[in-house]
Amino acid sequence: MSIRFDGQVAIVTGAGAGLGRSHALGLAARGARVVVNDLGVSTAGEGASSDAALAVVEEIKAAGGEAIAHGADVSNDEQVADMVAKTMDRWGRVDILVNNAGILRDKTFAKMDMADFRKVIDVHLIGSALCTHAVWPIMREQKYGRVAMTSSASGLYGNFGQSNYGAAKAGVVGLMNVLGLEGARDNIRVNTLAPTAATRMTESLLPEQALELLAPETITPGLLYLVSEDAPTRVILSAGAGCFAQTRIYETEGILLEGDGNTPENVAARFAEINDPENQKPMQDAFSQTRKYARKAADARGLN
Ligand code: NAD
């Protein structure tokens, strides 16, 4: 069954370059009308230009697709509201939002200027929240919406020198976890892509051969699935070089320490059991964890 987006409207943030450009082209090639958002900043988030977004719009049009450019800064409420209002004026709906815009301001935490910490959180996490919040009522009303966040191995697994970026990229996973639950009744599905790609963000970090293998176009098919009609929800899809894997958060079965036995020494002594991956499971939501613990404690006391 082929995946198509005919009749649908997609907003892709940071679509003037790299992964966003590839996603925008991919969506348009399969029938979506695309808002190519880009502030046209440097990797560090400096400057501004409409050139990159306009060039991608031209590419889409040249291939027979429909697109408009918008230069909203995703971390600016008013500019985001204007982008969504212009999209609605033009096409009257928003089916897909791809939160992709991003910057880097790497430094070890010891040397990190907290203004750079805030700025990175602002673009990635607040930007994703602002754009999603702006389209949320439209998607609820339509009873249809597909939202993709963009995380990173840096946020999921850690990367030296990226405390700001890693925190922001883990933050969007938290946002997805909650929005996936809140959106479900209105047929809004929320997923996260965790890409690793050759873009200007990574060109100085990777060897030539790796850069050739890691083209953004090798990742976009995964993104297209995450925003398609039959998309899953609350999935973290990790992707690069044509490889796709699901990243999941599991909780081990764990142990119960009761009464006088509930001591830090016993936590230390039984840490291997606490950590035992046998029977580990993902949790459906926060209270699944609470219920699990309450049940274990109640069972041990013979309570119902
Ligand atoms: P890129 O620098 O090529 O593209 C990012 C785009 O976002 C740029 O065109 C930039 O102008 C735009 N942008 C930045 N700040 C903006 C703002 N405030 N408002 C609107 N647009 C803004 O980078 P990329 O590698 O294509 O990254 C895309 C996304 O993927 C980012 O969220 C990035 O963190 C994430 N990511 C990339 C990699 C990778 O290996 N390249 C790995 C993990 C995650």
> Whose CA is closest to 67, among 93, 36, 46?
36
Mean pLDDT of 38-50: 96
ipTM above 0.95, yes or no: yes
**Span 106-141, pLDDT tens digits:** 999 999 999 999 999 999 999 999 999 999 999 999
CA of 141 to the centre of ligand 1 (A): 30
Q: Which of 144, 165, 225, 293 is catalytic?
A: 165
d(CA 299, CA 284): 21
> Whose CA is closest to 5, among 245, 243, 236, 226?
226
pLDDT at position 254 is 98
Provide the mean pLDDT of the chain. Answer: 97
Fill in the DSSP letter of residue 107: B
pLDDT for residue 304 is more than 80: no
| SS3 label, residue 9 | strand
Which ranges of 63-207 does DSSP label H, i.e. alpha helix? 77-91, 114-121, 127-142, 153-157, 163-183
d(CA 104, CA 164): 9
**Model confidence band, residue 205 (pLDDT cutoffs 50, 70, 90):** confident
d(CA 258, CA 48): 59
**Span 53-70, pLDDT tens digits:** 999 999 999 999 999 999
Does the Cβ of 13 fall within 6 Å of ligand 1?
yes
d(CA 26, CA 57): 12
**Model confidence band, residue 256 (pLDDT cutoffs 50, 70, 90):** very high
Return the H-helix or E-strand segment holding 288: helix 286-300
Distances (CA, A) of 53 to 39, 68, 90, 117, 186: 8, 9, 17, 26, 31
Question: Strand 236-240 to strand 243-247: parallel, antiparallel, or no bridges (unpaired)?
Answer: antiparallel
Which residue type does 33 have? R
pLDDT at position 1 is 79
d(CA 96, CA 111): 38
pLDDT for residue 49 is more than 90: yes
Q: Give me the sign of the Cα torsion angle 259, 264, 270, 272.
A: positive
CA 297 from centroid of its chain's CA atoms: 36
Would the pTM count as exceeding 0.90? Answer: yes
Does the Cβ of 240 fall within 6 Å of ligand 1?
no
pLDDT at position 267 is 98
Does the Cβ of 102 fall within 6 Å of ligand 1?
yes
165 in Cβ contact with 104 (< 8 Å):
yes
**Span 142-185, pLDDT tens digits:** 999 999 999 999 999 999 999 999 999 999 999 999 999 999 99
**Span 7-23, pLDDT tens digits:** 999 999 999 999 999 99
**Residue matched to tokens 């939160």:** 99
Does the Cβ of 210 fall within 6 Å of ligand 1?
no
pLDDT at position 16 is 98
As a CATH number, domain 9-247 is: 3.40.50.720
Does the Cβ of 228 fall within 6 Å of ligand 1?
no
Mutate which of 201, 205, 212 to test ligand 1's pocket (most atoms within 8 Å of Cβ)? 201
197 in Cβ contact with 152 (< 8 Å):
no
> Whose CA is closest to 65, among 91, 13, 36, 28?
28
Fill in the DSSP letter of residue 251: B
**Span 208-236, pLDDT tens digits:** 999 999 999 999 999 999 999 999 999 99
Mean pLDDT of 64-82: 98
Please indicate whether residue 165 is annotated as part of the active site: yes
Mean pLDDT of 195-220: 93
110 in Cβ contact with 60 (< 8 Å):
no
Residues 6+ apart with CB under 8 A from 36: 12, 15, 16, 24, 53, 56, 57, 60, 67, 68, 69, 70
Residues in the chain: 304
